[in-house]
């Protein structure tokens, strides 16, 4: 079993993402082979780790997956690596509702038997930072908090309080990160910018890793990471199809939001994955049996997507001919008749789904959902559900009504997802492991499409 630990904090904005990135770079500089995991449904941080840091990254979410499945996925995704770093989400104990720790970072740490290193934002504090830490440790008898890194703390203050950390809290003092200008990562309307767009990021990360090398006890972190002792977990059951359907997956600057587990599940079920770019390629890959259009930033590339007429025609013709397609959020917007860019200008989309997508002033229908089929569809049958989430500043004139989205805590519902021919498209980002029949039927439809295509 590889070493593993979690980086968590009392609140968002405490510096856990910055410290996680710095530690991952520091571990790589030590010639270790780390993997990273992000708690919650965020797909941007894992993409960031994968592309910029060269560290394989996955999501770990206890709404999408139950504890047993999460433990197996963690084991699968961490097995090839020397050490796994799990970045928490929000405040450590904050879960799906204000009064619940379900699906919180604490819940994940407990389910995966992870030791936790707490990041305490000590800006404007000295001894009070120990009170904050002590409160986090004592809130639960099994808090799992094993160490602490103080953010925004000077060397002088850290030297003064270091000896009192373990005495007052029982937690190992691991180090500190002083306030340093120039290490921030720019934000955009969906969170962190995509990795290719961060100026001088490599230099920033090298600077951060060099700083942490001097201020953090990496040997203590490695020692803490050895404390995990998770028993083996059996693999979930799912059907593997023969025939290896060829699934074209859009991946470029416009379409880049994918859960690694979704793509890996398709492979485990027998699919051959081939990536292509709706921005620059002329048409779908030859021999494609199915299509996946993920989320991303199509609104930033509307003109280029519109001007690639041959690709839009290739996709529309394939879908009209019955090619199975799953399209989520930005991918769904691309299938609309038209989509608005960030300047309010409309551009032609694929046109397979009637309607225009347009920008809104705030997040629309934000959060976890379970989407239930209102009637039998090609991929999901009446009454069945699949879990996912919505996160978008755009909306559409035609969001679809084939499924009903229900929020898990409040029970608020709305209609979602267009189903047309063999296409299921809408704003929800779906997590395939929550109902493996959905990707299974999708791949079966892909093989049937191949048979019909070859007959023509």
| Distance in angstroms (rounded) separating the CA atoms of residues 336 and 170 | 57
Q: Which helix (H) or strand (E) holds 248?
A: strand 246-250
| Distance in angstroms (rounded) separating the CA atoms of residues 55 and 437 | 31
Sheet arrangement for strand 325-328: 272-276, 246-250, 290-293, 325-328, 423-426, 418-420
Please tell me the number of Cα atoms within 13 Å of 310 on its side-chain side: 8
| Distance in angstroms (rounded) separating the CA atoms of residues 136 and 130 | 10
| Distance in angstroms (rounded) separating the CA atoms of residues 439 and 164 | 54
Q: How many CB atoms lie within 10 A of CB 259?
A: 22
**1-40 b/e (C-beta count within 10 Å ≥ 16 → b):** ebbbbbbbbbeeebbbbbbbbbbbbbbbeeeeebbbbbbb
The three-class DSSP label of residue 350 is coil
Cβ–Cβ under 8 Å, residues 271 and 244: yes
* Residue 179 buriedness (CB in 10 A; 0-12 / 13-18 / 19+): exposed
Vertex 56: Cα angle to 328 and 276 (nearest 5): 45
DSSP codes, 279-311: TT-SSSPTT--EEEE-EE-GGGSHHHHHH-HHH
- 255 closest CA partner among 291, 307, 298: 298
Q: Which residue in 21, 256, 329, 399 is the catalytic one?
A: 329
| Distance in angstroms (rounded) separating the CA atoms of residues 167 and 164 | 5
Active site residue 329: yes
What phi and psi, each to the nearest 5 degrees, are found at residue 250? -70, 125
Rg (CA), the chain: 23
| Distance in angstroms (rounded) separating the CA atoms of residues 2 and 4 | 6
Cβ–Cβ under 8 Å, residues 333 and 355: no
Q: Which residues are catalytic?
A: 329
């Amino acid at each position: 079993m590889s070493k593993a630990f979690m980086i968590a904090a009392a609140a968002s904005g405490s510096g856990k993402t910055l410290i996680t990135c710095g530690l991952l770079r520091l571990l790589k500089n030590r010639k270790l082979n780390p993997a990273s995991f992000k708690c919650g449904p965020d797909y941007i941080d894992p993409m960031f780790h994968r592309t910029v840091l060269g560290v394989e990254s996955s999501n770990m979410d206890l709404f999408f997956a139950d504890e047993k499945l999460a433990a197996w996925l963690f084991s699968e995704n961490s097995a090839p690596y020397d050490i796994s770093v799990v970045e928490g989400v929000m405040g450590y104990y904050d879960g799906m509702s204000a009064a619940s720790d379900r699906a919180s970072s604490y819940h994940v740490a407990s389910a995966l038997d992870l030791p936790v290193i707490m990041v305490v934002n000590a800006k404007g504090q000295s001894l009070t930072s120990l009170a904050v830490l002590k409160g986090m440790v004592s809130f639960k008898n099994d808090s799992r908090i094993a160490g602490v890194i103080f953010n925004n703390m000077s060397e002088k203050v850290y030297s003064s309080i270091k000896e009192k950390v373990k005495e007052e809290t029982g937690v190992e003092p691991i180090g500190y990160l002083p306030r340093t200008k120039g290490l921030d990562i720019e934000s955009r309307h969906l969170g962190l910018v995509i990795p290719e767009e961060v100026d001088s990021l490599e230099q920033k990360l090298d600077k951060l890793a060099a700083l942490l090398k001097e201020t953090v006890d990496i040997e203590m972190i490695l020692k803490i990471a050895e404390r995990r002792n998770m028993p083996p977990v059996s693999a979930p059951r799912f059907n593997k199809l023969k025939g290896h359907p060829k699934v074209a997956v859009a991946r470029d600057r416009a379409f880049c939001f994918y859960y690694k587990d979704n793509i890996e599940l398709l492979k485990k079920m027998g699919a051959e994955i081939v990536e292509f770019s709706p921005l620059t390629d002329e048409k779908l890959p030859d021999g494609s049996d199915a299509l996946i259009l993920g989320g991303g930033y199509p609104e930033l590339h509307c003109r280029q997507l519109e001007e690639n007429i041959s690709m839009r025609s290739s996709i529309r013709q394939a879908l009209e001919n019955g090619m199975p397609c799953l399209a989520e959020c930005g991918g769904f917007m691309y299938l609309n008749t038209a989509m608005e860019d960030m300047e309010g200008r409309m551009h032609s989309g694929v046109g397979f789904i009637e309607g225009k997508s347009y920008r809104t002033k705030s997040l629309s229908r934000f959060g976890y959902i379970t989407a239930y089929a209102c009637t039998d569809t090609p991929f999901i049958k009446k009454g069945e559900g699949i879990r996912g989430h919505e996160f978008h500043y755009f909306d559409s004139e035609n969001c679809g009504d084939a499924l009903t989205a229900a929020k898990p805590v409040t029970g608020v519902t709305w209609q979602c997802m267009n189903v047309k021919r063999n296409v299921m498209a809408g704003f929800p980002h779906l997590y395939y492991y929550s109902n493996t029949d959905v990707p299974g039927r999708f791949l079966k439809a892909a093989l049937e499409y191949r048979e019909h295509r070859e007959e023509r």
